[in-house]
Homo-oligomer: A and B are copies of this chain.
Amino acid sequence: MLRSEALDRLASAEYAHLATITPQGEPHIVAVTFVVVGDTLATMVDHKLKTTQRLQRVVNVERNPKASLLVDHYSDDWSTLWWVRVDGPATVHYDDEYWQKAGDALVAKYAQYTEDRPEGPAIRLAIERVSSWESTP
């Protein structure tokens, strides 16, 4: 898959999976809404998670910036499978210019955020390495 094609599929994916590493050195994986912002991927803590905004993913990235985000297509028809993965350093943003921009972009992408704009910390993942795979029937 060409890099441009991979980036297109990434941008139009509805949601993704984010992997980070806990302070105890364990892999941590969550499903996230996200959006492409320039040469970064942004995901934010939103109202879907009310108990705390100090989520594990935020704690992890603050301690260890290594992160990976995967979008993929699954189907019973295994000749149609594909995935795109982005690896790069991540940082946490709150109440700054990037946080504002990420919030705007998420509201623009997801109708569900129109009434409930995400207000928690943003995680910014630099699009450093792009990998992809596609089933070849």
- A residues lining the B interface (CB < 8 Å): 14-15, 17, 19-21, 25-31, 48-49, 66-70, 72, 74, 76, 78, 81, 83, 85, 87, 112, 133, 135
Give the docked Cα–Cα distance between A23 and B98 (Å).
32
B85 x A31 contact (CB < 8 A): no
Give the docked Cα–Cα distance between A72 and B30 (Å).
9
**Option from B14, B28, B49 in Cβ contact (under 8 Å) with A19:** B28
A48 x B17 contact (CB < 8 A): no
B31 x A70 contact (CB < 8 A): yes
**Option from B26, B30, B69, B87 in Cβ contact (under 8 Å) with A66:** B26
Q: What residues of chain B lie closer than 8 Å to A48, measured between beta carbons?
A: 78, 81, 135
Q: A137 to nearest B CB, angstroms?
A: 11
Q: A22 to nearest B CB, angstroms?
A: 9
Q: Closest chain B residue to A129 by CB distance? A: B26
A27 x B66 contact (CB < 8 A): yes
